[in-house]
Amino acid sequence: MVSRVIPVDTFDLVIFGATGDLARRKIFPGLYRRFWAGQVPPDSRIIGAARSAMALAEFRAQVLASIEEFVSPDKRDAARIDEFLGRIAYVQIDATGSGGWAQLKAEMRPGMIGAFYFSVAPSLFGDLAERLHRHGIATAESRIVVEKPFGRDLASARALNATLAAHFAERQIYRIDHYLGKETVQNLMAVRFANILFEPLWNAQHIDHVQITVAETVGVGGRGSYYDKSGAMRDMVQNHMMQLLCLIAMEPPYHFDPNAVRDEKLKVIRALDPVGQDQIVRGQYTSASGQPDYLTDAGNPESLTESYIALKVGISNWRWKGTPFYLRTGKKLRARTSEIAITFREPPHSIFDDAPGWRENVLAIRLQPNEGMNLMVMIKEPGPGGMRLVQVPLDMSFAKALGAEGADIPDAYERLIMDVIRGNQTLFMRGDEVEAAWAWTDPIIAGWEAAGRRPKPYDPGTSGPEDALMLLHRDGRRWREIKE
């Protein structure tokens, strides 16, 4: 299968925070990979902007180092890398003052697509947005890209939206949730809406429950001070897991169009039930094998922040009433794996009364690693001796099914940046969606803060606190195993 690269128009892309960690790990390596794939038009330019005084050669050397660290060797070629670095400029900029803005304006070419990636602290969003206008750099066609965290509650998200809206129209604002850029996350929409097979069964009548798991093996070491103010609920559930839930639960949009998709997601968020404290389990990892515990990593011995959360939520609409969604995510768990598992109800009547075995179909969609889908179906256990049922997988790895193209799945950031250049907001969160997500999250967090509850300890390398098992056990269900 030949990999298709859809060309984009020539652009000037400015990265504010160009010397930061995200730029180093994701943005520059991602842009290089798109360049390698032939998607970056010949005259396009990338302008790094940051606070430090730095010669252009020094900045390019930094970008080169990030390519060497984060791009696989089969995509590195000295001549191509030189060509890529040749497109890069650097401007020393004072986000809260006047230094550098005239130079930035001089770097931008009229008539090109102009995009500005705010890879900086949210407290600077307003300053950047205002100065882009004051210095005549932004136009009505410019795009800005902003990163999470988009606020830490409804009030701060509203304030951020208002700050951006003072300078840019909603159609110019691209709020990144990198989960939406993952190949398999988009595949969720393809599976649901490009096949007749699943959609007729996609409701409470036929689906018993849904499990969404995002398990990580890393701890929070290194990011402790950020993470401790956030916790798993704000860091993962309010955004990434909420987006996954929306794509599973939303009604079919009338078209694969940015606002049509986002309208449907918004309706799901608004229909989410409040979550009582008895439907939530929060945890903190302990120390093991000489590795620090959460409190040490967070640098806060009194911390009540969770590095693990599991919760049960219902959706009050016609499609989903009666089907619980169980969400869990945590650090330092047994394996790095993200998956969505849809468990269907048992058939209404069994003709195999005495046959032992399972009765459930489960559709598991693996987001990472080993992207793919697995549908558990019942068959007869081979051999004589009566009818015994056995559950077997119809297993599809996307990499195997799609050959080389499947193995070469672009990183979420590369895809999303190219969508910004294309002017396609489908995979970006709209302001009202973010606010609705916080409106659901805020009372949950307020609930446990009021109770002053301490998260339950769990050992690294396990599947989280024991109490999380109970969340499903008492409903007569159980979590799927966390494994790669």
Catalytic residues: 240
The yes or no reply on residue 147 touching ligand BG6 (CB under 6 A) is no
Looking at residues 199 to 228 of the shown chain, list those that interact with ligand BG6 (rule: CB under 6 A).
216
Q: Supply the minimum distance, in Å, between the C-beta of residue 151 and ligand BG6.
A: 14
The yes or no reply on residue 12 touching ligand BG6 (CB under 6 A) is no
> 269-288 in b/e burial notation, b at 16+ Cβ within 10 A?
bebbbebeeebbbbbbbbee
> What contacts 311, CB < 8 A, 6 or more positions away?
237, 275, 279, 280, 281, 326, 327, 328, 444, 471
Nearer to ligand BG6, 75 or 336 (CB): 336
Q: Supply the minimum distance, in Å, between the C-beta of residue 216 and ligand BG6.
A: 5
* 189 CB-contact burial (10 Å; exposed 0-12 / middle 13-18 / buried 19+): middle
Residue 63 region, left (φ>0) first, then alpha (ψ -120 to 50), else beta?
A: alpha
Please identify the residue of the shown chain whose CB is closest to the bound ligand BG6: 235
**Which has the closest alpha carbon to 174: 152, 142, 151?**
142
Nearer to ligand BG6, 12 or 235 (CB): 235
Nearer to ligand BG6, 89 or 311 (CB): 311
> What single DSSP character describes residue 326?
E
Q: Supply the minimum distance, in Å, between the C-beta of residue 182 and ligand BG6.
A: 7
The yes or no reply on residue 339 touching ligand BG6 (CB under 6 A) is no
Q: Half-sphere exposure of 139 toward its Cβ, with a 13 Å CA cutoff?
A: 11
Q: Supply the minimum distance, in Å, between the C-beta of residue 144 and ligand BG6.
A: 19
Nearer to ligand BG6, 208 or 339 (CB): 339
Alpha-carbon separation of residue 178 from 148, 268, 364 (angstroms): 9, 20, 21
Q: Supply the minimum distance, in Å, between the C-beta of residue 291 and ligand BG6.
A: 17
Nearer to ligand BG6, 216 or 414 (CB): 216
The yes or no reply on residue 235 touching ligand BG6 (CB under 6 A) is yes
Task: Please tell me whether residue 282 adopts helix, strand or coil conformation.
Answer: strand
The yes or no reply on residue 371 touching ligand BG6 (CB under 6 A) is no
Identify whether 324 is preceded by a cis peptide bond (ω within 30 of 0).
no
Task: Note the Cα 264 to chain centre separation in Å.
Answer: 18
Tell me the site size for ligand BG6, rule CB under 6 A: 2
The binding site for ligand BG6 (CB under 6 A) comprises: 216, 235
